[in-house]
Amino acid sequence: MNAQPQARLQALPPVTLVLGGGRSGKSRYAEGLMEFLAPRIYLATAEAGDKEMAARIEEHKQRRGRGWQTVEEPLDIAAALNAHSGRQKPVLVDCLTLWMSNLMAAGRDAEDEVEALVDCLGGLPGPVVLVSNEVGMGIVPDNALARAYMDNAGRMNQVVAAAAQRVVSITAGLPRVLKDTEVAPGK
């Protein structure tokens, strides 16, 4: 690894959370954080349940291009992070809110799963960038399932943001750093 990618890798804190609304540019921003790093892992939580979602997944793959090892894991992202993270191998998780949908559809306990994720984040050997939608900035949904999803996603984002050293909000493709905690060398 030459000096520039090594410096970029060292510039990534252990945990970065990138938040934004739908089509805000959050995934593109998160991918850019790892643009010159290799190898790098893309941990995808989406499942192609219909043609529209399959097209979205393909659009993401095309935009990323080569240089990414894609790991598809819709439910057990803590285990996948533990299996694929390495000192010189950053991981991008895209996205936590799709993961939350998957958990709820599978009848899994959202609070326990988020706790397991946060517990694993502190012990990873390499940096991780997590992407999540900010879903609570609009109208409160009119049905119980949608409200439960919004509540679970909001609580998840708060817990992950508290565990992250850097939190960035993306609006209209523009990043705003919400949190940037200094990390001691070697951490």
pLDDT digits (tens, 9 = 90+) for 158-182: 999 999 999 999 999 999 999 999 8
**Catalytic one of 60, 64, 84, 166:** 60
- Please give the structure tokens belonging to residue 101: 């949908």
> What's the rounded Cα separation, in Å, for the pair 8 and 2?
10
Domain-located, residue 184: no
> What's the rounded Cα separation, in Å, for the pair 141 and 171?
22
Domain-located, residue 117: yes
Full-model pTM: 0.91
Q: Write out pLDDT tens, residues 1-60.
A: 444 555 555 689 999 999 999 889 999 999 999 988 888 999 999 988 899 988 888 888
Domain-located, residue 182: no
Looking at the structure of the chain, the number of domains it has is: 1
Give residue 34's domain range. Answer: 16-137+144-177
Domain-located, residue 92: yes
Tokens 């999803």 map to which residue? 149
- Please give the structure tokens belonging to residue 157: 């984002």
Beta strands at 174-180 and 166-171: parallel, antiparallel or unpaired: antiparallel
CATH code for position 94: 3.40.50.300
> What's the rounded Cα separation, in Å, for the pair 41 and 90?
6
Q: Is 84 a catalytic residue?
A: no
Domain-located, residue 123: yes
